[in-house]
Structure formats: structure tokens, C-alpha cells
Amino acid sequence: MALRVLHLAGSAVSDFHADLSLTYARGCLEATADSYESHPAYVSPDGRWRFPATLEPEAIAAAPALDPPDALAHLGRLGLDVVLPQMFCLPGMTSYRSLFAVLGIPVVGNTGEVMALGARKAAAKALVATAGVDVPRGEVLRRGERPTIVPPAVVKPDDADNSLGVTLVRTPAGFDAALDAAFVHARRVIVEEFVPLGREVRCGVIERDGELVGLPLEEYLLDADTRPIRGYADKLAPGDGGLQLVAKDDPDVVLVDPADPLTARVWDVAKRAHVALGCRDHSLFDLRIDPAGRPVFLEASLYCSFSPASVLAVMARAGGIELDELLAIAIRQARSRA
């Protein structure tokens, strides 16, 4: 009998996060439908649940909207074997994951507590630093506070993703606009020293049979003068049918040859960060490589959608692990924790 997998999508916060969730969740559902008995679930920004046949807009609109108590009763009747979280808003990454832990249904990926830690960039940075990982010097500000970091500096929200509200400030006069842009997305803002560009990479780590496995690195081909950091437009763009994943078709995003000496250094840093944050199943880290070749931790992205377009899936495929195997490994581990 096929395993019953709940694909938990949507957002209890905003249409933006709901669209982002659906962009990935639809890809996962389509790619894995033949391997599992799939049960889509969609949470809308009003907090109500729907259990559509698919995650297409028409199916979601046609499904009855249930208040949380009725949704919980329906979940109990499904006899689920495992939950695959696809929500990227803060409650979706934290509270909704923890809900299924309370219900005793195994959850693929990191716990709600670990996701909360990873979402708070300053806290994650401080914790990985205790494991000997290099991080940029920085400070956390609230509205009305002024930075003491000397430009060039990067200003970013403490708990937003996809480079929303991120600005490179080159002179003190640029701080006001940069802080205003960041405070749109968070109550706390990080100002940190700019790490000069050598290279910038993303590293994925998965757990397999009790071992941490580093995946081939993804590199962003930036330019120190014209494109020194990545912005929101490098990641997402509006399009027909929802958000489009810009980076997936960007010729300036390439996979690094595993024989590159940088790979081993980054894997060591990423594995230490994985352990320091208390991750399980998988993790993903952005690192800046300074001109001297030193990896510097920027932030953690502790989710995986298991869509063919997911960064971890792309990295795993380059390392000889196809999507079906990648998901099967994670599901096996989640069920072993039940």
C-alpha cells in the first residue's frame, strides 16, 4: 500500500507567501504523484483549510473551506503516514510544523523550533559562530536606532526571505533609505559588514544513513562593480499563473565542479552549521567567499520543497541522487522518528 503523504501548502499570512508555496508545492506534487498516495492541503491567509484534489487554482476554489477544528478532524480521518511541509511564511515554517508533531504525524525536515531559529538571521548567525564558523560582524537595530557599522555595509530584515528589503549601503547617507526599506519587512533589522566579493555559493547538506552528505555547490556569478550582491529580482518575479523562479533559468547561476578545492572547505563549514543549528534531514546555507578564499556564513534556508526546481533537488541530482530517492530518504528518516 502506498504511503499517505500530506502536501501542506499555502500561507496563514499573505497571498505572496501562498503563491510562493504553491509555486513549489505544485512541482513536487506533480513529480511524486505516482510514488505516493498524495493528499493536498491548502491553508489560506484567513486561517481556513481546504483539502482540494490538486493544488491548481480551480481545485482550491472548489474545495470547502474548513475552520481549524474541522480541519483537524479531517486530518485525523486521512490516516496520514507523513507530512511534507510546503509553507514558507513564518507560522507555516514553525507553528504548523509543530502542530503535526503534537498530532504525532511524522514531519519531513526540520522542527518548528529549528525553523524559527533559522528564520531569525541574527540568532542563526550567532549560533553557528559558536561552532567556529566565520560570520560578518554586525548589529541588530530597532526603529529609531542608528548603525555603528561603517559602510560598505549590508542592511537586511532579520526574518525575511528572498532578499526582500536587502540593500548594499556604500556611504553613511544611504542608511536612511536602506533602513526604511528593511523595516517594511521586519521589526528588527541587521546591519553587517560587507564581505568583499570573491565568490558567492549556496551549499546543501542532507542526512543519509546517519551521515551528513554535502551536495554539489551552486555558485552565483556576481560582479564586484555591477552586481555585488543578489537581490529580490534575482530570485522571484511575477508571471502567468503565479511567481516565477528567476534563478532556475539564470545563466549566472552554475553548479561548481566537486573537484574545485572550494567545495571541501564549504562542506566543512556547512556541516558544522547544520549541527550547530540542530538541523535534521536537510539544510541549505548561503556563504560568501572573500578574496582570500575564506567562507563566510550569510544565512540559513532550512526548508526543501522536493520540487524538481528546488535548489536541494537540483544539487542532489548533480550529485547522483534523483528526486525520488531524495524524498524517499527524507520520508524514511521522518517515519523512523515517529
Please tell me the predicted confidence (pLDDT) of residue 233: 58
Q: Do the Cβ atoms of 269 and 201 come closer than 8 Å? A: no
**C-alpha distance from residue 28 to each of 12, 51, 53, 115, 157 (Å):** 20, 17, 15, 20, 29
**Band of the pLDDT at 241, cuts 50, 70, 90?**
low
The domain boundary residue, chosen from 165, 193, 221: 193
| 126 and 252 housed in the same domain | yes
Domain boundary residue, one of 193, 216, 231: 193
pLDDT at 161 over 80: no
pLDDT digits (tens, 9 = 90+) for 280-336: 999 999 999 999 999 999 999 999 999 999 999 999 999 999 999 999 999 999 999
Query: Do residue 95 and residue 9 come from a single domain?
Result: yes
Whether residue 336 lies inside any domain: the answer is no
Is a pLDDT exceeding 50 seen at residue 118?
yes
For residue 175, what pLDDT is reported?
97
Count of structural domains within the chain? 3
Do 269 and 127 sit in the same domain of this protein?
yes
In a domain, residue 320? The reply is no
211: in domain: yes
Q: Are 43 and 67 in contact (CB under 8 A)?
A: no
- What does the mean pLDDT of the chain come to? 93
| Residue 265 structural domain | 117-134+196-302
> Is 317 within a domain?
no
pLDDT score for 244: 52
Query: Domain of 150: which CATH number?
Result: 3.30.1490.20
In the chain, pLDDT over 90 holds for what percent of residues?
87
Residue 242 has pLDDT above 70, yes or no: no
Residues 211 and 225 in one domain: yes
Instruction: Kindly state whether residue 332 falls inside one of the protein's structural domains.
Output: no
Using the predicted structure, report yes or no on whether residue 234 has a pLDDT greater than 80. no
Q: What CATH number is attached to the domain comprising 48?
A: 3.40.50.20
Whether residue 239 has pLDDT greater than 60: no
Whether this model's pTM surpasses 0.75: yes
Same domain for 280 and 214: yes
Instruction: Kindly state the average pLDDT of the residues 259-278.
Output: 98
Dihedral, CA atoms, 60, 61, 67, 68, nearest 10 degrees? 10
Residue range 205-218: mean pLDDT, rounded: 96
At residue 138 the predicted structure's pLDDT band, cuts being 50, 70 and 90, is: very high
Pair (147, 126) in one structural domain: no
Q: Are 91 and 226 found together in one domain?
A: no
Angle at CA 294, nearest 5°, toward 288 and 295? Answer: 40
pLDDT at 29 over 90: yes
The verdict on residue 65 lying in a domain is: yes
Asked if residues 292 and 152 have their Cβ atoms less than 8 Å apart, the reply is no
Same domain, 208 and 274: yes
CA distance 103 to 114: 18
Cell of 223: 560582479
In the numeric block, which cell numbers belong to residue 83?
A: 507530512
Domain shared by 125 and 250, yes or no = yes
Q: Locate 106 and state its grid cell.
A: 511524522
For residue 240, pLDDT over 70 is answered with: no
Beta bridge partners of 10: 43
Give the whole-angstrom CA distance, residue 297 versus residue 273.
9
Q: What is the band of 250 on the pLDDT scale with cuts at 50, 70, 90?
A: confident
- Shared-domain flag, residues 293 and 180: no
